[in-house]
Amino acid sequence: MNALTSERARAIQKRRRRNGTRNPRAELREIQSILLNDIRNPDTAPHIRAQCTRAFNDCEERLRILNNKPLPGQLRPDLAQIRQAKKTKPLLLPTPDSEATPAKESL
């Protein structure tokens, strides 16, 4: 596992905001990169790899929430409203005025 060395601590300190906190997205990406390195490491035990995969998935969910993206299929339109709109669709028929208007004669 990657330990927080003094070099990494200095690099993280440079990325901090003025008020001393970090951007949550940047923190999640940093965590994901560490987890991905642990997942790809062949020396990592299988149960540790599974835990890292679950944590990586949780980070993806947090990023989705921070970006205000809904779950797939969550924003489906109401089918009753769509069916009602199809039933009450007006017919576009020609009006009697448009067929029977004579051309004006010029004098």
Per residue in 57-103, pLDDT (tens digit) is 999 999 999 888 888 877 776 777 777 777 775 666 666 665 555 55
For residue 42, pLDDT beyond 90: yes
pTM of the model: 0.53
Q: How far apart are CA 6 and CA 26, in angstroms?
A: 19
Q: What pLDDT is stored for residue 58 in this prediction? A: 94
Structure tokens at 93: 């028929």
CA distance 26 to 20: 14
Lowest mean pLDDT among 39-43, 52-56, 77-81: 77-81
